[in-house]
Amino acid sequence: MVRAHFVYLQMFIFKHEVTTHKFKDSRIEPILLDLAKIIALRWLIDDCGRIYDSGYFVTSAWKNMNTALDILIKKIRP
């Protein structure tokens, strides 16, 4: 769970920095946030055993995460 917490902190700090930064092009922020979601989902899919063991996720969560990952990847690169 410690590793999961560090990933959460990384994502939280990244999201905070992206949302508070003033980009010259307004299209950059949503793309960076989608990329962060892809990274987080990829980590959860690859290393989710401890989270399942703790009872935080149910078994159907893996399929939902894969579906969400596919949708985000298609959104980034149609």
The number of folded domains in the chain is 1
Nearest CA-CA partner of 35 in 67, 63, 4, 77: 77
Cα–Cα distance, 23 to 18 (Å, whole number): 9
Contact 51, 44 (CB under 8 A): yes
Q: What is the pTM of this model?
A: 0.80
pLDDT, tens digit, for every residue of 6-64? Answer: 888 999 999 999 999 999 999 999 999 999 999 988 988 887 777 777 777 777 888 88
Range of the domain at 21: 2-76
Indicate the DSSP class of residue 60: T
